[in-house]
């Protein structure tokens, strides 16, 4: 299947992002025994131009959908490449020094979202990167929100809300333990007895989804916001996306040394030269 064969993702099918083909290069490794749930994946991205272009299309759709892109370009009398470069896609360093860090952080959040949705079967709203005022400045709030809800109109105690704090370190040097500690430290902000940023993100997602007619996501977000009347199960996790070929050093790190609690989970995605991959994908987002 070529990019031309992929269905357009517009306001009326905004939840139907196709399973990205790069998922098959996300290779699950043996479980590293840390005393908490730990999921480790190696990203082998030795792929061809067609696959990189498909990956870039998947990423670009997190910033602007297909029909919105064509409408905006027409209204502003701009070509697609210039509009995406100027208003949607985080830039390379040459144009804004914050761009590469935002690219890395967004890439990490998107790949964790894909893992949770397409491998683990969670629902994951894709409204974190969309409609930014400045493409080179990340939104505040929880990094990745995922959930499993049987019926938002019939709330149950075992409905599950998963909040993941994501940290990326894609350039040398990479100290894995420090990346995980940083994620764990910020994850505590999402504890119900902490700052609990999730409601702010959920409210933003509810409003953004409602505005584009995504009533299903809006209804699910409203259920997740109604915790006082209808409690549910809340789990937190930390994720590290790092440019490392090997992460067996994890096995010598007890959870407490990384700032992780027993009820958390840890996701690690690693691979070689990941910042090179990020630029390869993002540079194609504007072509």
The model's pLDDT over 219-241, given as tens digits with 9 standing for 90+, comes to 999 999 998 899 999 999 999 99
Strand partners, 161: 147, 234
Contact 83, 279 (CB under 8 A): no
Instruction: List, in sequence order, every beta strand (DSSP E) within 54-159.
Output: 144-148
Residue 203: predicted pLDDT? 96
Taking the C-alpha atoms of residue 67 and residue 169, their distance in angstroms, rounded to an integer, is 34
Q: CA 80: distance to chain centroid?
A: 24
Per DSSP, 12 falls in state G
- Strand 144-148: give its sheet, edge to edge: 26-28, 37-43, 265-270, 233-242, 160-169, 144-148
Q: Which residue's structure tokens are 């609990």?
A: 196
Tokens matching residue 205? 């997602």
Residue 114: predicted pLDDT? 98
pLDDT at 94 over 70: no
Instruction: List, in sequence order, every beta strand (DSSP E) within the chain.
Output: 26-28, 37-43, 144-148, 160-169, 233-242, 265-270
pLDDT at 52 over 70: yes
Contacts of 191 (CB under 8 A, 6+ apart): 236
Q: Count the neighbouring beta carbons within 10 Å of the beta carbon of residue 114.
A: 19
CA 204 to each of CA 171, 198, 199: distance values in angstroms, whole numbers, following the listed order: 31, 10, 9
pLDDT band of residue 33 (cuts 50, 70, 90) is low
Judged by DSSP in three states, 248 sits in: helix
Q: What percent of the chain has pLDDT over 90?
A: 75
Q: CA 9: distance to chain centroid?
A: 18
pLDDT at 284 over 70: yes
pLDDT at 3 over 80: no
Contact 229, 2 (CB under 8 A): no
Taking the C-alpha atoms of residue 263 and residue 131, their distance in angstroms, rounded to an integer, is 34
Judged by DSSP in three states, 280 sits in: helix
Half-sphere exposure of 44 (CA within 13 A, CB side): 5
pLDDT band of residue 99 (cuts 50, 70, 90) is confident
Region class of 149: left (phi > 0), else alpha (psi between -120 and 50), else beta: beta
Taking the C-alpha atoms of residue 67 and residue 70, their distance in angstroms, rounded to an integer, is 5
pLDDT at 175 over 80: yes
Taking the C-alpha atoms of residue 62 and residue 59, their distance in angstroms, rounded to an integer, is 6
| Mean pLDDT on 130-144 | 91
pLDDT band of residue 65 (cuts 50, 70, 90) is very high
């Amino acid at each position: 299947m070529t990019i031309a064969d992929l269905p357009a993702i517009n306001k009326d099918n905004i939840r139907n992002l196709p399973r990205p083909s790069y998922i098959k290069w996300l290779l699950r490794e043996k479980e590293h025994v840390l005393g908490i749930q730990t999921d480790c994946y190696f990203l082998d991205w030795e792929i061809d131009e067609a696959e990189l272009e498909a990956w870039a299309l998947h990423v670009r759709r997190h910033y602007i959908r297909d029909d919105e892109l064509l409408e905006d370009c027409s209204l502003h009398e701009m070509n697609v490449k210039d509009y995406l470069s100027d208003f949607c896609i985080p830039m390379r360093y040459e144009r804004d020094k914050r761009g590469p860090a935002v690219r890395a952080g967004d890439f990490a959040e998107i790949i964790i979202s894909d893992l949770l949705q397409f491998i683990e079967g969670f629902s994951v709203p894709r409204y974190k990167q969309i409609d930014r005022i400045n493409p080179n400045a990340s939104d505040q709030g929880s990094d990745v929100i995922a959930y499993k809800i049987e019926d938002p109109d019939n709330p149950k105690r075992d409905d599950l809300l998963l909040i993941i704090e994501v940290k990326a370190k894609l350039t040398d040097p990479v100290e894995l333990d420090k990346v995980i500690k940083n994620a764990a430290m910020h994850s505590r902000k999402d504890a119900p007895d902490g700052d609990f940023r999730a409601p702010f993100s959920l409210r933003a997602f509810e409003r953004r989804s409602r505005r584009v007619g995504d009533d299903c996501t809006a209804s699910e977000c409203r259920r997740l916001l109604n915790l006082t009347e209808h409690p549910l199960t809340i789990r937190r996790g930390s994720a590290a996306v790092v440019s490392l070929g090997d992460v067996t050093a994890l096995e010598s790190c007890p959870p407490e040394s990384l700032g992780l609690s027993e009820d958390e989970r840890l996701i690690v995605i690693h691979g070689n030269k990941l910042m090179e991959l990020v630029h390869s994908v993002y540079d194609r987002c504007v072509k």
